[in-house]
Amino acid sequence: MVQATEAHLLTPRLWLWHAFDPAVKADLFSTAALVEDALFLIDPIRLDSTSFQELRDGYRTGGILVSNANHLRATVEFARVCPAPVFCSSVVANDLEGLEFVTLTDGAEIASGVSSIALKGAARGEFAFHFADDNGTIVVGDALIHVDPYGFALLPAKYCENQKDLKQSLQRLLRWPFERLLFAHGMPILSGAHERLEHLLR
């Protein structure tokens, strides 16, 4: 499994780390979000142990969030190192034998200011996660990408369960206030993300 060498601080409450995976010929991005004194890890790939300890220093782990059936990644390893519930769709739960997990539902409050949003039509079991702090952040799995040669775009149709359904369900994200948009595949949009998504979906 691929491993990132360091985590990059984006804001006082957000980090990301990433690495290229030759098996899927794509960069894999992972996010950590701080909510009060708890870190939430989203779609985590492996991270250099020293960097991971620096990231965790002073914080407890509130949970590990898995955005869809394709993004289990290093979740099991992380859950064993820093015991915390795994929040995931029912299609992921079968791979978590022996671990504590919570099955996601649409609109569920995972923690104070942290919500799950179901996105029909992308990968199986697709959810986005909304963090209310600092004018709002949304973290997505496969539903949206921000990589060459596509740029900021919907998941290409060949990877979708149904791209038409996906485009309709992404409209639901616009109901939430957010300034930033982070991806499992691609560099983050750190300002004006709500307007960028609104424009994309027109």
Q: How many CB atoms lie within 10 A of CB 164?
A: 10
- What is the rounded CA–CA span in Å between residue 41 and residue 75? 9
47-60: average pLDDT:
95
The tens digit of pLDDT for each residue in 128-151 reads 999 999 999 999 999 999 998 899
- How many domains does the structure of the chain reveal? 1
Tell me the whole-structure pTM to 2 decimals: 0.96
DSSP 189: B
Whether 101 and 87 have beta carbons less than 8 Å apart is answered as: yes
Whether 198 has a pLDDT exceeding 90, the answer reads yes
Whether 94 has a pLDDT exceeding 90, the answer reads no
Q: For residue 151, give its domain range.
A: 3-200
Those residues with Cβ within 8 angstroms of residue 162's Cβ, 6 or more apart along the chain or in another chain: 120, 121
User: Cα separations (Å) of 111 from 87, 119, 133, 163?
Assistant: 11, 20, 12, 30
The tens digit of pLDDT for each residue in 103-131 reads 999 999 999 999 999 999 999 999 999 99
* Nearest residue to 113 (alpha-carbon basis) of 38, 56, 51, 9: 38
Those residues with Cβ within 8 angstroms of residue 53's Cβ, 6 or more apart along the chain or in another chain: none
Those residues with Cβ within 8 angstroms of residue 25's Cβ, 6 or more apart along the chain or in another chain: none
| CATH, residue 189 | 3.60.15.10
Give the angle 46-123-34 at the CA atoms, nearest 5°. Answer: 45
Q: Where are the alpha helices (DSSP H) in the chain?
A: 49-56, 75-81, 90-93, 163-170, 193-200
Whether 87 and 104 have beta carbons less than 8 Å apart is answered as: yes
**pLDDT value of position 98:** 84
Q: Which residues pair with 41 in a beta bridge?
A: 32, 64
